[in-house]
Structure 1
């Protein structure tokens, strides 16, 4: 009977993982990075309804930044993104600190806080659209209780509609951020906290001087994840407001879709997609650099 030599077995063990991962790697290479390159090419072409590979330089980018809707989308992203990130982190940290007190009903509260993240953004947007609808939601219910003068019509007000998108997004993501911070809190050495208590440090001082600095990786991860989700938010806006009233809740993602597929401006839509990619890269690259530097240390 033929036997396998140790050298051949070692080579097989080295190459087997690569062979198993090769199909997935090829698919990612084609359908992720390949389409990124294709989008970059389209953004520098004269494409309208269909792809046209005629070089146009940065003409599509110039037309993009000449669009009032694009500036509105960037303004809305700044409002939505800042509220989304700051409030999710603050609320998630507070909830994590609450659960870290080992309260009896932690097993009940934790899944309740995490449940919204299990829903799709379409479900979240639809549910909040019903809840915030002035004719059938929260406003109508409160008026039915006797407060006839109560008004909460942000959903239909162009100057306030973007805040309803932030409310729905915060409701969904806060539990996820809480889980990240709770994992960080549970990883802190309890002996260090006990020593600080023995030395006379107050609870506020312990959290400010010890706990919060030790949660830096969790803070950084939360910012990265939330910023990425804010930039690519599409289905939440479409389900909740449809981009309206008018274009009051237009975001770069909804702008990209409408200009690419409904307004027959494929080059402009591709240019907006590349700007979104640059925004995500501006967040991810420093994060990856800091992580690699920490590993080397």
Structure 2
């Protein structure tokens, strides 16, 4: 009787589960259509326009790679690409180092831990526009840090990086690291809190220096969190636009120009859709080259190991 009753219950619940699965699938259909026709459609249309001679309005002719030849011969784009490389390396390295140090500090069970976490995360709650404006005022030689120090009595003090063509890109790095390191702290802190306390006890018994434990044990254990943080930061680097516009407007001259600003300027101000979409396509290639290894390591490789 028990076996019959269990079989009857299972037979009754199976149609319910099937109806739920069908309902969930139908609910996801609009989202799938949006992804296919809006995101992917716009992406392929952008790539298609990069092979056309579109100016003010899009046209459907075919000019091959002529837009890409013009793009790489454009000094403004080469400067913006070089700036993006400099910014990306320093920004990612700075955020990872500072975020890790902040996470280690918080992981020591300090007093007022919640207050410190709020303070460190607060910059990330601000938009890049607000961050850019705040740092623009702070680094302005006639209003900010330089004037403040000189008013104190150090008349020879000079910190004019924001108006110096050779140094302006580093001011963007400073502002970006200040804004994003709190997020990295939160990600790495979650990894640190997941490490078994027995590892620390064993290291203390063996007399292993703390820095060696972090270098040889802790960092490899939180490796997946570091990779995730690096991917998130890399995407922010490629999308860098609003911080530059708010802080330097690409100046002095084109010293702090970045590819996203190049795209927006040629798309809406210079009325050159073909050149703008070719630059946007190059940015897409960079994003795919960053995301593809991470997706493979995070999902595809894991599934292959399980099978």
| TM-score class, shorter | over 0.9
Give the alignment of 1:95-134 within 5 angstroms.
Answer: 95-134=102-141
1:202: Cα distance to partner?
Answer: 1.9
The reply to whether residue 249 of structure 1 matches residue 230 of structure 2 is no
Could you list the runs of 4 or more consecutive aligned residues of structure 1 that deviate by over 3 angstroms after TM superposition? Answer: 5-11
Q: Distance in 2 between matches of 1:242 and 1:291?
A: 37
1:261: Cα distance to partner?
Answer: 1.4
1:259: Cα distance to partner?
Answer: 1.4
Instruction: Give the match's secondary structure for 1:150.
Output: coil
Q: Which ranges in structure 1 are unaligned for 5 or more consecutive residues?
A: none
Partner of 1:158: 165
1:240: Cα distance to partner?
Answer: 0.3
Greater shift after overlay, 15-24 or 231-240? 15-24
Structure of higher CA gyration radius: 2
Match of 2:67 among 60, 66, 75: 60
1:209: Cα distance to partner?
Answer: 1.5
Match of 2:175 among 158, 165, 168: 168
Partner of 2:291: 284
Aligned length: 294
Q: Which ranges in structure 2 are unaligned for 5 or more consecutive residues?
A: 1-11
Partner of 1:187: 194
Q: Distance in 2 between matches of 1:7 and 1:76?
A: 59
Partner of 1:198: 205
1:6: Cα distance to partner?
Answer: 6.1
Partner of 1:266: 273
Q: TM (normalized to structure 2)?
A: 0.92
The reply to whether residue 230 of structure 1 matches residue 258 of structure 2 is no
Greater shift after overlay, 6-15 or 126-135? 6-15
Partner of 2:27: 20
Q: Distance in 1 between matches of 2:17 and 2:158?
A: 73
**CA 1:146–1:259 in 2, change beyond 3 Å: closer, same or farther?**
same
